[in-house]
Structure 1
Amino acid sequence: MKILYFAWLKTKLQMTEETLPWSEERPDTDSLVRWMKSRGPAFAEVFSDLEVVRIAVNQEYIVGNTALNENDEIAFFPPVTGG
């Protein structure tokens, strides 16, 4: 799975993207976020308030838990406002 980070998330985590091996322990977005929180203090901080983190799977914004596949691209980003 390809993971992308945007805006303040990439700054806090000091990376713009990474590739994670597929794992049956992370079959959906909820389990992926729980796993991300366990990766260390920066990850725990970034994912502590999901009100300020949005998720897209394969460039489509999702709401709620979504199943993941081995070749998915998952993006984490702050809410976007129009103007």
Structure 2
Amino acid sequence: MQVLYFAWLRERIGKSAEELELPPGITTPAGLIAWLRTRGPGYEAAFIEDAKIRCAIDQEFQPLDATLDGAKEIAFFPPMTGG
């Protein structure tokens, strides 16, 4: 699965994208976030406030409890504001 990181998530993790194979049992973006936090201090810092994180699965906004079944891409980003 292609995982994309935007804004301060990208800055804290140190990369804008990576290709990952989901570990067994990871079925939702929330589960993926919990697992990503274990990958090092940059990931932990990026996802420390997971309630603020938004995601898009295959380029469509989804809640963090959506299923990742069959997904090819997930993007994580902070809340956006308009003006």
Q: Same fold (TM over 0.5)?
A: yes
Report the counterpart of residue 77 of structure 1 in structure 2: 77
Report the counterpart of residue 46 of structure 1 in structure 2: 46
Letter in 1 for 2:51: E
User: Alignment partner of 1:27: what SS?
Assistant: coil
Cα distance in 1 between the residues matched to 2:47 and 2:30: 11
Matched, 1:31 2:31: yes
Deviation, structure 1 residue 34:
0.8
Cα distance in 2 between the residues matched to 1:28 and 1:69: 8
Deviation, structure 1 residue 4:
0.2
Of all paired residues, the percent bearing the same amino acid is 36
- CA displacement 1:21-76 (0-9 Å, x = unmatched): 14322122121111011111111111110233211111111124011135421001
Q: Unpaired runs of 5+ in structure 1? A: none
Give the conservation status (yes or no) of the 8 Å contact 1:2–1:71. Answer: no
Cα distance in 2 between the residues matched to 1:22 and 1:14: 20
Report the counterpart of residue 16 of structure 1 in structure 2: 16
Report the counterpart of residue 4 of structure 1 in structure 2: 4
Matched, 1:55 2:69: no
**TM-score, normalising length: structure 1:** 0.87
Q: Number of paired residues?
A: 83
- Cα RMSD (Å) of the superposition? 1.5
Q: Unpaired runs of 5+ in structure 2? A: none
